Amino acid sequence: MTAVVDKKEIERQAMVDYLQVAGKVVLASTIECYDEGDNSVTAVCDPPAVVRISPYGSRQIFEDVLRWTDGMHLDPYYDIEVLEPHPALAGLRPSWTFGPGRGRDGTVDAPSFALGDDACQERYRDATGLSDAEAGGPSASAAPRS
């Protein structure tokens, strides 16, 4: 029989995960977006896109970081700011990326990003987020999507 992890412990771990990256620059391999028809689209970014995880207020933490998809799996997502144009984002409105998911069975799903190293943090320290139009870059008419 598989042990069941306490929901409060999973939520504590999810907060630690979030606080380690809030306001930091990450390299995102997938970004959840919306197209011109407001349909949800997953942009696959290869190479990864340079984005910053947006800091949340307490209400958003409850809704987005401590987000249970069912009684057994916490599936957080983090809002982002795109810092460099990426062709996979052409024609899309980039919105968020997945943080580490956690199951009550003890499983941990990898996030869809990696924390940028110290040089990356310094390079983009004062960078502002791009507009949706700028995020796709100038030559991204045939961006791969899944």
pLDDT, tens digit (0-9, with 9 covering 90-100), for 70-109: 889 999 999 999 999 999 999 999 999 999 999 999 999 9
Find out whether 111 and 99 touch, Cβ atoms under 8 Å.
yes
Task: Calculate the average pLDDT of the chain.
Answer: 91
Taking alpha carbons only, the member of 37, 16, 5 closest to residue 111 is 16
pLDDT, tens digit (0-9, with 9 covering 90-100), for 104-138: 999 999 999 999 999 999 999 999 999 999 999 77
Which pLDDT score is estimated for 123?
97
Cα 61 to Cα 77: distance, rounded to the nearest angstrom: 10
Q: What is the mean pLDDT of residues 29-57?
A: 96
Confidence of residue 2 (pLDDT cuts 50, 70, 90): low
Taking alpha carbons only, the member of 86, 81, 117, 99 closest to residue 10 is 99
The whole model's pTM is what?
Answer: 0.88
